Amino acid sequence: MRTTQTKNTLKNQEPTISMVNQDDECLPKVVEMILESMNFADEYTKARSYRKTGITNDGITAIGLARLNWLLEEGRRELIGIFTPAEFATMCTGLQDEICELSSLNKIVGVVADDLGLDPDTYEESPHADLINRLLALSTLQSVALRDLLEEFWNVGMHTMSCAEFLNKKGLN
């Protein structure tokens, strides 16, 4: 069954879950998200049982992760030249300590617009309209790859290098 992709607008973006305080209120949601991810992993593994070849569930999971990494690399290549290091830093600021639900993984633009204090009805009048429009134009693959890059930078890269250095290291600048 083929699904149609809804046109992204600033009005139909969902927020993600902030983990800034990592307090007890957030813990049940994080556990729920992990369980949802585990259910997807279990379904993936069951649908690819390689009994004839002797590949274990861990092997199947490794194959799935390798495929995911390949897709993310493809999405990253498509991002080359779309965002400046300053824009990347702006996006990263809005996504600090965010844990993203699977259902809103490709909705970065809503978090960025909210962080910049933009109104969906008037954002086109702001100096950030071009950035928001480029985020809205991203494909699902590009958006997920960008989200993954932002999380990697926030969790690892920002402690050892600048945005520009990180993007250069990833071949995106």
Does residue 76 carry a pLDDT above 90?
Answer: yes
**Cα angle 7-12-18, degrees, rounded to a multiple of 5:** 130
Sorting pLDDT into bands at 50, 70 and 90, what band is 7? Answer: low
Residue 7 lies in a domain: no
Q: What is the pLDDT of residue 15?
A: 41
Residue 3 lies in a domain: no
Q: What is the pLDDT of residues 29-59, one digit of tens each?
A: 667 777 777 777 788 787 777 667 778 888 8
Q: What is the pLDDT of residues 123-167, one digit of tens each?
A: 899 999 999 999 999 998 998 899 888 888 887 777 788 888 888
Residue 10 lies in a domain: no
Residue 145 lies in a domain: yes
Q: How many domains is the chain built from?
A: 1
Distance, in Å, from the CA atom of 93 to the CA atom of 100, rounded to the nearest integer, reads 15
Distance, in Å, from the CA atom of 134 to the CA atom of 22, rounded to the nearest integer, reads 31
Q: What is the pLDDT of residue 99?
A: 59
Domain assignment of residue 51, given as a range: 15-169
Structure tokens at 63: 């194959």
pTM score: 0.74
Residue 94 lies in a domain: yes
Does residue 24 carry a pLDDT above 70?
Answer: no
Q: What is the pLDDT of residue 111?
A: 81
Residue 8 lies in a domain: no
